[in-house]
Amino acid sequence: MLFLSLSSITLIGQTQPQQKGKLYFYWGWNKSIYSNSTIHFKGNDYSFRLENVKATDKQSKVSLDYINPAKMTIAQYNFRIGYYFKENWSISFGNDHMKYVVTQGQQVEITGHIGSTETVYNSDYDHNKIEIKEDFLKFEHTDGLNYENIELRHFSNLKPLGKWNINLIEGFGMGISLPKTNSKLLGKARNDEFHLAGYGANVVAALQLAHTKGFFMQAETKGGFINMPDILTSPESIDRARQNFFFFQYNLVFGYQFSLTKKAAFNSNL
């Protein structure tokens, strides 16, 4: 509601930042939330689904992981580079490096069949309860969901404050999910590799505090949907999983923008 209210503000007789022809990039960090998910597992002599599976993100402890260039990719991060092709519109590419961890110890419903495994879980199931623990399932996208996406964003200047400007940015995007899934299922060998697993779509809204010299800080809210129909669960190619879920991010990012043209940084909107 705050973003909708701010976007209705019209500034008359004030100097507006000129965006067309500018290139920008930013780096920052996210806090992610996920909806419950139904996960289907299929392989040699097993096929079952787990319903309403809970998962969380995996925040790094406050440390040099956030600012040390050699460790910056350990934390949950957001990177984006974009270009203003019109005065109020930009197109950008980014990587949302979220982490997704299925919660251990939770009770979920299982339906399907498990056979020919050297575990106690061989059985037929029909909406039975089962506890997720490591000898049954470990399932994480912890070197990132890696939502690689292209976004179209709209820019509005809300208020000039001397050498600073408060701006509103809204947009939508779509892309692919390239997770590195850390999985161990039914005593099988652990999988931990990158794989193109699916796709996603999202909307985003942000408030930006920008300096006339090009530096800016930006607070974002971002929500979307991820569908992954082809997830690797072991080194054996037959072992696959599929799932989909909604996500929501709180992001804090820092960036810089500059003009690729010789136009003045500002124009008059009198």
pLDDT at 11 over 50: no
Query: For residues 72 and 90, what is the distance between their CA atoms, to the nearest angstrom?
Result: 26
Express each pLDDT in 91-127 by its tens digit. Answer: 999 999 999 999 999 999 999 999 977 789 999 999 9
Confirm if 254 and 26 have CB atoms less than 8 A apart.
yes
Interval 125-168: pLDDT, tens: 999 999 999 999 999 999 899 999 999 999 999 999 999 999 99
Residues 141, 146, 148: CA angle, nearest 5 degrees: 155
pLDDT at 43: 93
CATH of the domain at 154: 2.40.160.20
Query: Domain containing 27: what range?
Result: 2-268
Interior angle at CA 111, CA 108 and CA 116, nearest 5: 110
Indicate whether 90 pLDDT > 60. Answer: yes
What is the structure's pLDDT at 16? 63
**pLDDT over 90 (residue 52):** yes
The pTM score is: 0.87
Give the C-alpha separation, 244 to 228, whole Å: 6
CA distance 75 to 95: 13
The structural domain count of the chain equals 1
Q: Kindly indicate the confidence band of residue 171, based on its pLDDT and cuts at 50, 70 and 90.
A: very high
Answer yes or no: are the C-beta atoms of 85 and 30 closer than 8 Å: no
Q: What is the mean pLDDT of residues 201-226?
A: 97
For the segment 232-255, what is each residue's pLDDT rounded down to a tens digit? 999 998 999 999 999 999 999 999
- How far is it, in rounded angstroms, from Cα 238 to Cα 43? 5
Q: Residue 68: what pLDDT?
A: 72
Q: What is the pLDDT of residue 207?
A: 98
The answer on pLDDT for 201 being more than 60 is yes
